[in-house]
Structure 1
Amino acid sequence: MSQQLLVEYPLMRPPACDNPLARGADGVLRYGNLTPALTELLDLQVHAFSGREAVVEIGGPRLTYRELWHSASRIAGGLQEHGIGYGDRVAIHMPAGLRWVQAFLGALLSGAVPVLVHDGLPSAVAERVIVDSSADFVLDARAGGELPDGAAFIDDGAALNDLALLCYTSGATSSPVCADATPKGVELTNENLLSAIRSVVGALDLPTDGLRNLVLLPLAHASGCVDQLLPTFAVGGTVVLAPDTRRLAEGIAAERVDMVSATPRIFARLLPELAALRPDGLRTEGVSRISSAGHRAERAAAPTGPADPAVTLREMFPVARQWSVWGATETSGIGLAVDDAAADADARVLGFPFGGTELALFGPGAEAGHGELLCRGPNVTRRYWNDPEATADRFTGSWFHTGDQVTIDADGLVRHDRAG
C-alpha cells in the first residue's frame, strides 16, 4: 500500500450485543465467551431444541434438529471412511436445499473444512475454485447421487483459531466469486464464524422462541451461510428454504414465516410476484423481521426510485422491522447495519458498525471523513487462502481494505461516496 493517511474512527454507539468485548493484543475487539468451535455451539443447540424443526423446504422434506444432526453425523462417518479427517477440505457443490445443509454440516462434523462452491457458477469457474482449495473430496449430489454414509461420527477437536470455512470471492472486489473472475479463497476461522453469529443475533435481536427464517440468500455465500443459516441455528430457529420460488407466497403463510432474508436483487425480482398475489389473500402480517443483505455491488444492481425494493418491502410487510446489512466475504458477510426507517431513503447509506467491527478511513481525505473504508474485528479474516500477495495488498496490519469509497458522518453512519 502507498503511504497515505489511515484514520481510525471510534465507535459512536455501544455495539448491538449483550456480550463482553475486550481488546486483544493485536488491537482487535474480541468476544470473551465463545464456545471453542462452531460444532460445539451447534451441538449445544441440538440438545436444547432437539424436537424443533431445524430445516424445512417449502413443499418438500423437513428435519428436526435431532434428525439433521444424526444425518449429518452419518455423512461425517461416510467421509471418514473415505479418508477425510481434521483439516481436509471438502467442497460443497450442490443446489441450495435441505441436502446442502446436511452436506455442509456433515463436512463440519468430519473435522474437515467446507469449501463453498456456488451451484450457479459455470463449470470451469467451479473447477478453478475446487482446484485452488486443494479439495480432498467433493460433495456433488446435483444429479441425485447419494451423499457419503457411515457410522455416526463427530470430530470435536477444533479450536477458535482453526480454519473452519473457505469462501471464495472474485479477484478484484469483495463480491462473491462470479463467472469472469479469478477466485480468491477467504479463510474464516471458528472465531470469525462464532463472532459473526453472535453479532448478527445481537444486532437483529433474534429470539429463541421458535424463529422461522425464510432464507433466500445463496447458502454458498457468507451472507447466506454465516449470517442467516448459522445464526438461525444458534437461536434454535427454523431455516425455511424455497428451491422453487413459485411456491413462495403460499409457503410464507403455510410455514408461519416470521423473518425473510434476501439480497436487494432477489427482493427486486420476487416482490412483483408477491404483490400480484396480495389481493388474493397473501397474508404477511406475521413477518416481523426483514433482512436485506449484500455487498455494495449487489445493492447497486437493485433498482431505485418508484420501484425501490425497500419501499415495496415496507408496503408488503407493514409490521416488519427492516434491516439492511452490509459486508464482504472477508468480513464474514457483516460489518455495517441500519434500520431502513433510519436510512432516510438514501440509497448511499451502508449503516453503522455493529458487533466488534471497527472502522478506519484510508486516503488523503481520511481526516475529513472521506476515503476508502477499512474494517477490523473478530469476524474479519486474517488472510487469503494460499495467496500472500493478495493478503499483503488488502491488509494493513489487522485492517482490511474493502475497496469502497465512503463518507463517515459525525454520528458514525457510513455512506457510499458516489463521487469516489
Structure 2
Amino acid sequence: MVLRPFDESGVERDTQGVKRYVDLPDSVVAMLRASVDRDPDGEAVVEVDGSRLTYRQLWDAATRVAGGMREAGVVRGDRVAIRLGNGVDWVLGFLGTLMAGGVAVPVNTRFTDDEARYVIEDSGSRIVLAPGHPLPEAQPFVEDGLRREDLAAIFYTSGTTGFPKGAMTSHENFLTNVENARRVVGLPRVDPTLRNLISVPLFHVTGCNSQLLPTLQCGAAAVIMPTFEVGRFLRVIAEERIAIVTTVPAIFWLAISQEQFAGTDVSGVRYATYGGAPIAPDLVQAIKRSFPAARVGNGFGLSETSSISTFLPHEYADTHADSVGFPAPVVDLDLADVDPETGVGELLIRGAQVVQGYWNKPEAAAQTFTGGWLHSGDLARIDGDGFTYIVDRAKDMINRGGENVYCVEVENALAAAPGVFEVAVVGVPDEMMGEKVGAVVVPQPGADFDVAQFLAFARTRLADYKVPQYVDVRSAALPRNPGGKVLKPALRKGTEWGSPLR
C-alpha cells in the first residue's frame, strides 16, 4: 500500500492533470500583505548582529525600494539582479523587486566576475543591486494587478553545457512551494512565535523559497546569518530561541561535533530539517539525540521545482534514512526508462511548483520540460510503499556539501589552463562534505606543469567551491569508451588521490 503522510485537502487537478492548491494568495506580495495586516508589530526579519524589522517596517521599507526601482526605470517584467549577501538588504531588494512588478534575479555571491556577468547579461537585468551601494528608495509603490502566473524570479542553476540556466519561477511556483513546505514539515498556518534560522544562502531556492517565504507567510521571524561560522551558528540558536533549523547534513555534523555544543541551549528547536546531500543513518540518530524536542526530516528538490518536491517525515527518518521520502501534496512522480532488474529510472516530476522553463534557452527547456513533466536528470527508484530513493546523478554532478558542481562546467574552465592537454573532473568521497572536487590532468607533452599555477588559474575562472581540492597528474591518456567519452567510473575507482590540496 502506498503511504500518503501529508495533508492533501484543497488540492485539485487542472485540465492538463496538474495538481494545484485551490486557495492561494494572488501573489507573493499579497501573501506578505496578509501577514502585515495580521500582526504589523511582530518581528519579521532579523539580521544577526545587525538590524531588525517588524512586519510594518518590512512592508514600508520594501515599498520605498520598489518606488526607487520605478524611479530608476524598472517597469513590469523588468529583471533586477540581486548580487547582495545574506541580510536585510537582500530581503528588501527581493521584495521590492516584486512590489515594483519586476523579476528578481538572485546572483550567487560566490561567482567570479565573469560568471556573475553572464547571469546579469543573459537575464537582461535593468539594474543590479550590488554590495557597497545603497538600495534605491523613493515614494512607496506597489504594482497593482499581480497574478499568480506572472514571472517573479529567475534562479540560475549550473548547467552541463558550462553555462548556467535560469529557472523561470512564477508567483504561483513560489506560493505552491510555501504551502508544500508548510504541509510536509508540519508547520502551523500562522505562528508568530516561530523563529527560523537561515544560515544557507538566500540566492539558493532552499534559503529563499523554503525558508524565507514560508516564514513570512506564517507571520514568524526570519533570523538571517550574513555568513556562516559554526560558533556563531550555535550562539544564535540559543540567543534567538530558534525553532527551525534547516541546513545540509555536513553543517549538522559540524555543529554537533563542537565542544561548545554540549553547553548550547537547543531546547527551543522544534524542527531540524536537512537536505541537499546524502545523509548517514548514524547522523540522523545523532541529530535526533542532539535536538530532542525537534521533528527531523529530509527534503529533496531542484531549482526547477522551486525547491521541495519530496520530504521524508520524522516518523520514517530512522528507518528510511537513505530515502528522500514522499511527494508533496501537489506533486506527481514517475520514472522514465526504467531498468527492469533494478527498478531504477530517471525521475520525472509534475506539479504546480515546477517552473515555467529556462530563460533564453528554449532548446534546453524543450529537453527538460517534456509532455507536462520535468525530466530531473536524477536516477531514482520508488518502492511499493511510495518511498523515493535517489540512487545516482545522470548528469555527472558532484554534490559538495549541498553545493551542486557540474563536471563539464569545471572541465570547460580547466581545459583552458596553461599546459593542460586533457582534463576530467569527478567527485572524491569525503566524510564531512559528501564529495569534493577532483581533477585528473594530462599535461601537454613536454609542458612544465605546475599544480599551484593550475589551481591559481582555476580560481580566476570558477567559484571557490568548484575549484578542485584533489589533482592527479598523469602521463597516460584518459580512459575512454569507443565513442570517445571519458570513462568516469574508471577514474573514480582507479585514482589514488592522496591528501586534499586546500
TM range (shorter): 0.7 to 0.9
Residues 39, 55 of structure 2: 8 Å contact kept: yes
Question: Are the aligned partners of 1:72 and 1:106 in contact in 2 as well (CA < 8 Å)?
Answer: yes
- Specify the alignment match of 2:143 in structure 1: 155
Checking the alignment, whether the CA contact within 8 Å between 1:161 and 1:190 is kept in structure 2 is yes
Greater CA drift, 204-213 or 78-87: 204-213
Would the aligned equivalents of 2:8 and 2:329 in 1 still touch at CA under 8 Å?
Answer: no
Task: Identify if the C-alpha distance between structure 1 residues 357 and 18 changes in structure 2 by more than 3 Å, giving closer, same or farther.
Answer: closer
- 5+ residue gaps, structure 2: 395-502
Change beyond 3 A, Cα 1:390–1:195: same
* Matches for 1:177-188 after TM superposition, within 5 Å: 181-188=162-169
Out of 261, 264, 267, the residue aligned to residue 285 of structure 1 is 267
Q: Deviations over 1:249-288 (max 9, x none)?
A: 2221221111111122333344433xx1134x31111111
Tell me, yes or no, if the aligned pair for 1:369 and 1:407 is still in contact at 8 Å. yes
Identify which of structures 1 and 2 has the higher relative contact order when contacts are C-alpha pairs closer than 8 Å and 6+ apart. 1
Mapped to 1, the partners of 2:383 and 2:178 lie a distance apart of 27
From the superposition, tell whether residues 418 and 171 of structure 1 become closer, same or farther in structure 2 (CA, over 3 Å): closer
| Aligned-CA RMSD value | 2.1
Q: Which residue of 2 aligns with 1:204?
A: 185
Report the counterpart of residue 405 of structure 1 in structure 2: 379
With over 3 angstroms needed to count, the CA separation of the structure-2 counterparts of 1:15 and 1:113, relative to structure 1, is farther
Aligned to 1:188, what secondary structure does the other structure show?
strand
Match of 1:322 among 293, 296, 307: 296
Q: Report the alpha carbon displacement of residue 242 of structure 1 after superposing the two structures with TM.
A: 1.8
State the shift of 1:42 in Å. Answer: 1.0
- Is it true that 1:91 corresponds to 2:81 in the alignment? yes
Q: 1:355 aligns to what?
A: 329
Say whether the 8 Å CA contact 2:234–2:261 is kept in structure 1. Answer: no
Q: Tell me what 1:40 maps to.
A: 30
Q: Give the match for residue 7 of structure 1.
A: none
Q: Which has the larger radius of gyration?
A: 2
1:380 matches 2:354: yes
Within the alignment, does 1:223 sit opposite 2:197 as a pair?
A: no
Letter in 2 for 1:292: Y
Deviates more, 1:180-189 or 1:53-62: 180-189
> Are the aligned partners of 1:89 and 1:133 in contact in 2 as well (CA < 8 Å)?
yes
CA contact (8 A) 1:91 1:115 kept: yes
Separation of aligned partners in 2, 1:63 and 1:196: 24
Instruction: Give the conservation status (yes or no) of the 8 Å contact 2:148–2:170.
Output: yes
| SS of equivalent residue, structure 1 residue 405 | strand
Matching of residues 170-319 of structure 1 within 5 Å: 170-172=158-160, 181-207=162-188, 208-210=190-192, 211-244=194-227, 245=229, 246-273=231-258, 276-279=259-262, 281-294=263-276, 299-300=277-278, 304=280, 308=283, 310-319=284-293
Mean Cα displacement is larger for which, 332-341 or 146-155? Answer: 332-341
Matches of 1:261 and 1:156, distance apart in 2: 34
| Structure 1 residue matching 2:84: 3-state secondary structure | coil
1:69 aligned partner? 59
Q: Does the aligned pair in 2 maintain the 1:356–1:377 contact within 8 Å?
A: yes
Structure-1 residue corresponding to 2:113? 123
> Match for 1:100 among 76, 90, 100?
90
Contact 1:200 1:355 in 2 (8 A): no
Distance 1:36 1:409, change over 3 A: same
1:366/1:30 CA distance change after superposition, 3 Å: farther
Higher mean C-alpha deviation, range 257-266 or range 386-395 = 257-266
CA drift at 1:38: 1.3
Distance 1:401 1:196 in 2: 19
User: How many Å apart are 1:341 and its aligned residue?
Assistant: 4.8
Return the alpha-carbon distance in structure 1 between the equivalents of residues 47 and 298 of structure 2: 25
Is contact 2:47–2:88 with CA below 8 Å preserved after alignment?
yes
Measured after TM superposition, the shift of residue 368 of structure 1 is 7.2
Give yes or no for contact 1:404–1:416 (8 Å, CA) kept in 2.
yes
Per-residue deviation, 1:369: 3.7
CA distance in 2, matches of 1:271, 1:128: 39
2 CA distance for matches of 1:419 and 1:136? 36
Residues 45, 53 of structure 2: 8 Å contact kept: yes
What is the count of residue pairs matched by the alignment?
390
The sequence identity of aligned pairs, in percent, is 38
Contact 1:223-1:293 at 8 Å conserved across structures: no
CA distance in 2, matches of 1:344, 1:251: 28
- Using a 3 Å threshold, how does the CA distance of structure 1 residues 342 and 74 change in structure 2: closer, same or farther? same
Contact in 2 for aligned 1:50/1:65 (Cα 8 Å):
yes
Please give the alpha-carbon distance, in whole angstroms, between the structure 1 residues aligned to 2:346 and 2:32: 37
